Amino acid sequence: MDLSGGRGWLQDDAAKNIMNYVDPVAVRELGRVLQITSAGRTYAEQAALYAAYLNGSGNLAAPPGTSVHESGLAIDTNDATWLRSHPEFGWVNTGLGFSEPWHFEYQGGAALAGGPINPIPVPKEDDMPSLKELAELAATPFKIRAAYRTLLNRDATDADIAGWLPVAVDQGWDFVEQWIGKSPEALTADGTEDLAAAVGRLFQQDMGRAASPQDVVYYTDMAEKQGLDAVHRFLVWARAQGAK
C-alpha cells in the first residue's frame, strides 16, 4: 500500500498504522506527518543500494534478499527521536543495534487491534557494535575478494559477496575464509561431476550428513539455476544457523 505524500509503500497493516495512528499524532505534536526517507524496497532497489555500498559510493546496506525493507515492514525516518518516544505505535528502533538510528521495523498489529503493545527491547548501548566491529564489517567484502583470488584464483562476483557477508556477520571472518576454501570449484578439478553427485558431496561436507532424495532434487534444481557455489554458501549458512 502506498503511503500518502509520496513516501513510498509498506505492507497494508504497517501502512495503515502510519497513516491512521502515527501521522495524526505527528501532525498534532510536530505540525506535519512523519518524515520517511525510505520505506519498502524491491529486490532490485536493495541490490542497487548494496552494490553502491560495495563500491564505496553508498552507505552501509544489507545484501539483497536480507533487508527488512524488502518485506515492506521497515522505514527510515528523520523523526527517529520522536518516533522512539512513542513505542505504543509498534515501531521498534532496531537500527540502534547496527548504527542506523533512523531505521525502524513494524513489530505486529497490536496498535491496529487496540491491544497492548510489548515492543522488542531496544539494544542497550553496551550491546551496540564497536567502531572496531563496524570497521571489520566494512572490510569484509574486500577480504572476500582477496580470499577468492588467493584460494580460488578468480574474482569474487557480487553474488559471492552477497552470499558470504551475512555468514561473516554471524560467524566471523575466520569461519567464512575456511569455507570459501572448500567451495565446489576448489574441490572439483575436472568439472565432470554431475550436479546430483555434487549436491550429495556438498551435503556430506557442509552439513555433515547424507542428502535425502528430496534434498538432492531441491538442491540440484538450485544448482542448475544458481550454480553449485550458491548451494555451498546456503548450506554453510544453514549449518551456522543450527540446521541439521
The tens-digit pLDDT sequence of the chain (244 residues) is 888 778 889 998 899 889 888 999 999 999 999 999 999 998 888 888 888 877 777 777 888 888 889 889 999 999 999 998 888 888 988 887 767 888 999 986 544 434 433 333 444 445 455 666 666 667 788 888 888 888 888 888 877 887 787 778 778 888 888 898 888 765 554 555 678 888 888 888 888 888 888 888 888 887 888 788 888 888 887 777 665 4
Question: pLDDT value at position 33?
Answer: 92
Which range marks the domain in which residue 202 is found?
A: 131-240
Q: What CATH number has the domain bearing residue 149?
A: 1.10.3130
Residue 168 burial (CB count, 10 A):
20
Statement to judge: residues 135 and 92 lie in one domain:
no
Statement to judge: residues 118 and 30 lie in one domain:
yes
Statement to judge: residues 23 and 114 lie in one domain:
yes
Strand partners, 77: 36
**Domain final position from 75, 107, 127:** 127
d(CA 62, CA 85): 26
Statement to judge: residues 64 and 110 lie in one domain:
yes
Question: pLDDT value at position 192?
Answer: 56
Question: 26 in helix, strand or coil?
Answer: helix
Statement to judge: residues 155 and 40 lie in one domain:
no
**What strands lie across the sheet with 36-38, from one edge to the other?**
36-38, 74-77, 103-106, 91-92
Statement to judge: residues 49 and 155 lie in one domain:
no
Largest CA distance in the chain: 69
